[in-house]
Homo-oligomer: A and B are copies of this chain.
Amino acid sequence: MTVETLSSAACHGGCQSFHSHASASTGTVMKFGVFTPPGDGPFPVLWCLAGLTCNEETFAIKAGAQRLAAELGLMLVTPDTSPRGEGVADDPAWDMGQGAGFYLDATQAPWAPHFAMESWIIGELPGVIGAHFPADMERQSIMGHSMGGHGALVLALRHPGRFRSVSAFAPIVAPTAVPWGQKALPAYLGDDPAAWAAHDACALIAGGARVAELLVDQGLADNFLDAQLQPERLAAACAAAGIALTLRRHDGYDHGYWFIQSFVGDHLRWHGARL
């Protein structure tokens, strides 16, 4: 389990570094970023999952989360959003293939050999983080943006007890009901609707999966709001299930990182209080 350090820089008294390792889950070299707060640790870990077209650098560079993570003593882990490389299947569209792993294990050709994001993030990468960084893996939380918000919600719902808290910015909450998911889930998982529902936050909740509470921020000037995001579906699912959802709608904010950086502090404090 060798971890290569691609770069490392002092940041807010701690360290922002980027790494790669040969992943057994994906059969590729996978990249991830780590912000280690100042001090000796061990530190609780906040997973930060990025959206379509993004990679391990996006959240680290654009979200402006390190300052407060340093203050709160949180380690931030930012995984890449898919396997990559010449031998890895891809699609010319920006919402399929490389950069669009949807945080699941694909079962269908040509994706199955390498697209194993759930296995990587849930099964393999925590061991890497625990072994190579001053992390307290008994204390993990997860957040994400857009496709990464989908990832945060679904991974928390599918792996109860793993994460102490969950939050999302502009998440895809019901991929089986919107075009992004209706394209990606059949491509990655085949034609069985039950397989799709197992990766749909609203369907998981309707099927009995639970988290105690959720924090979700959504911009009302988000171009993807009506067609792809539809947070009212999550509100309805949580209301029916008795999940305490804090859904904040923000006038004027769009889908991007200018929105995320405006409210990321609230998410860090939310997770910090629960870690």
Q: Contact residues of A with B, CB < 8 Å? A: 9-13, 16, 61-62, 64, 66-67, 219, 221, 250, 252-254, 256-259, 261-262, 265
Give chain A's interface secondary structure class: mixed
Which of B13, B253, B256, B258 lies in contact with A262, CB distance below 8 A?
A: B13
Q: Are A12 and B66 in contact (CB under 8 A)?
A: no
Residue of B nearest to A254 (CB): B9
Q: Is the CB of A262 within 8 A of B62?
A: no
Q: Is the CB of B9 within 8 A of A258?
A: yes
What is the total number of copies of this protein in its complex?
A: 2
**B9 close to A261 (CB less than 8 A):** no
The answer to whether B11 and A259 have CB atoms under 8 Å apart is yes
The answer to whether A262 and B64 touch across the interface, beta carbons within 8 angstroms, is: no
Q: How far is the CB of A34 from chain B (nearest CB, A)?
A: 13
Q: Which residues of B contact A252 (CB under 8 A)?
A: 10
Closest Cβ neighbor of A64 among chain B residues: B64
| Residue contacts A-B, CB under 8 angstroms, 23 given | A9-B253, A9-B254, A9-B256, A9-B259, A10-B219, A10-B221, A10-B250, A10-B252, A10-B253, A10-B258, A10-B259, A10-B262, A11-B258, A12-B262, A61-B61, A61-B62, A61-B257, A64-B66, A64-B67, A64-B261, A66-B258, A67-B261, A67-B262
